[in-house]
C-alpha cells in the first residue's frame, strides 16, 4: 500500500512539473508573439553593429587620463595595449583602466619588431611587459598587440598569449589632426571593425571622442577587443 501511494505521488509530481513547464513555455511564446517587431529589429541591429576601439603605446601621463575620463563620460569600453617601459610612474593610470573595465593588453616592453629578434628576445619583450602590467594592476593579460603588426610564426605557443591585430588604421600617428583622423575612421568603420589608435598624442584623444560620438550616433556599440574575438 505504501509503495502504491509513493508511486501515485511520483506520478502526480511528474504531471505537475509537465504542467508548469508547459505554462512557462506558453508564457515565453506569448511574450515573443506580443513583442514589438520594430524593437526586436533595433536590438538585432545593435547586436551586429559592434566595433572595438584599441589604443597602443601608452600609458601616457597626460593624455591617457584625459582619454579615460572622456570614455567614462560616454560609457565606452576600449582596449589598451601597454608598453612596459611606459608603465613606471603611471601605475595609477593603469589601475584606473582596470577600474573602468577596459581591456588591458600587452604591447611588448620597448616596441621592438618581434620578427627582427630571436625567439628568446621576443619572449622577453612580452614577458617583461606582462610583469610590469601585473605589478601595476594585478592583471594577467592573455592578449598581445605586436608592434607594427608583425608576429613571428608560432610565438603564441611559446608565450601562451593571443595576438590581436586591427582591421582599420586611424593613421592618427601620421595625420596628427583630430578632424582628419576621425574622418578616416568614420568613413571606413563597419560592424566588427577593430580600430587602431594611440593614446600618446593630444590629437588622438580629440579624434577618439569624435569617433565615439559619430559612431554612437550611427547606432554602433563599443566593445573590448576580446568581445569581438570571443563573442
**At which residue does the C-alpha cell 591617457 appear?**
64
Q: Residues 45, 198, 217, 226: which is the catalytic one?
A: 198
Which residue shows C-alpha cell 611559446? Answer: 158
Among 56, 57, 172, 199, the active-site one is 56
**CB contact set of 223 (below 8 Å; sequence gap of 6+):** 50, 51, 52, 77
* Alpha helices (runs of H) in 75-224, residue ranges in sequence order: 91-99, 119-137, 155-159, 172-175, 178-188, 202-217
Total Cβ atoms within 10 A of residue 18: 10
The answer to whether residues 168 and 194 touch, using CB atoms and an 8 Å cutoff, is yes
Closest CA relative to residue 105, chosen from 160, 153, 151, 56: 56
In 10 A of CB 168, how many CB atoms?
A: 20
Determine the angle formed by the axes of helices 178-188 and 202-217, rounding to 10 degrees. Answer: 40
Q: What number of residues does the chain have?
A: 231
56 is catalytic: yes
Can you tell me the distance from the alpha carbon of 91 to that of 133, in angstroms, rounded to the nearest whole number? 9
Active-site annotation holds for 198: yes
Indicate which residues carry an active-site annotation.
56, 198
Amino acid at each position: 500500500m505504501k509503495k502504491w501511494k509513493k508511486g501515485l505521488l511520483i506520478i502526480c509530481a511528474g504531471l505537475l512539473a509537465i504542467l508548469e513547464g508547459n505554462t512557462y513555455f506558453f508564457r515565453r511564446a506569448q511574450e515573443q508573439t506580443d513583442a514589438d517587431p520594430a524593437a526586436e529589429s533595433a536590438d538585432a541591429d545593435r547586436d551586429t553593429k559592434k566595433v572595438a576601439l584599441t589604443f597602443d603605446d601608452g600609458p601616457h601621463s597626460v593624455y591617457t587620463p584625459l582619454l579615460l575620463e572622456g570614455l567614462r563620460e560616454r560609457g565606452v569600453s576600449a582596449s589598451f595595449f601597454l608598453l612596459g617601459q611606459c608603465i613606471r610612474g603611471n601605475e595609477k593610470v593603469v589601475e584606473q583602466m582596470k577600474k573602468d573595465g577596459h581591456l588591458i593588453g600587452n604591447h611588448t616592453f620597448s616596441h621592438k619588431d618581434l620578427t627582427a629578434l630571436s625567439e628568446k628576445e621576443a619572449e622577453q619583450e612580452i614577458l617583461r611587459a606582462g610583469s610590469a602590467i601585473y605589478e601595476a594592476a594585478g592583471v594577467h593579460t592573455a592578449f598581445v598587440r605586436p608592434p607594427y603588426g608583425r608576429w613571428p610564426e608560432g610565438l603564441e605557443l611559446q608565450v601562451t598569449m593571443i595576438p590581436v591585430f586591427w582591421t582599420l588604421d586611424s593613421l592618427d600617428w601620421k595625420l596628427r589632426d583630430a578632424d582628419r583622423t576621425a574622418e578616416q575612421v568614420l568613413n571606413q568603420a563597419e560592424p566588427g571593425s577593430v580600430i587602431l589608435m594611440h593614446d600618446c598624442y593630444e590629437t588622438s584623444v580629440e579624434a577618439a571622442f569624435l569617433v565615439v560620438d559619430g559612431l554612437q550616433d550611427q547606432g554602433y556599440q563599443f566593445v573590448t577587443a576580446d568581445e569581438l574575438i570571443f563573442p
